[in-house]
Amino acid sequence: MRTITIFHNPACETSRNTLALIRNSEDEPDVADYLRTPPDRRTARRSSASSPRPA
């Protein structure tokens, strides 16, 4: 089973809706509040590389 990580902005409606969709699918994602705790460069690159959409 793969882990879902969402870089979440609680003030963003799209981010809140995406988080709700993931949770409604019975998955509990790892939630990273990137405004409070920005990812380091390595984490950002790894996340971008594993995304199906270009950054």
- The answer as to whether 11 is a domain residue is yes
Asked if residue 55 is part of any domain, the answer here is no
Q: Is 19 inside any structural domain?
A: yes
pLDDT of residue 3: 82
Burial group, residue 42, by CB count within 10 angstroms (0-12, 13-18, 19+): exposed
Task: Please state, as a whole number, how many other Cβ atoms lie within 10 Å of the Cβ of residue 8.
Answer: 19
Domain that holds residue 20: 5-50
Split at pLDDT 50, 70, 90, the class of 53 is: low
pLDDT band at 44 (very low <50, low <70, confident <90, very high): confident
Task: Read off the pTM.
Answer: 0.70
Say if residue 23 is exposed, middle or buried (CB neighbours under 10 Å; 0-12, 13-18, 19+): middle
- Examine the residue annotation and report whether 12 is marked as an active-site residue of this protein: yes
2-29 confidence digits (pLDDT tens): 788 899 999 999 999 999 999 999 888 9
Residue 51: per-residue pLDDT: 66
Q: What is the predicted pLDDT for the residue at 47? A: 78
**How many domains, the chain?**
1
Question: Residues 4, 12, 21, 35: which is the catalytic one?
Answer: 12
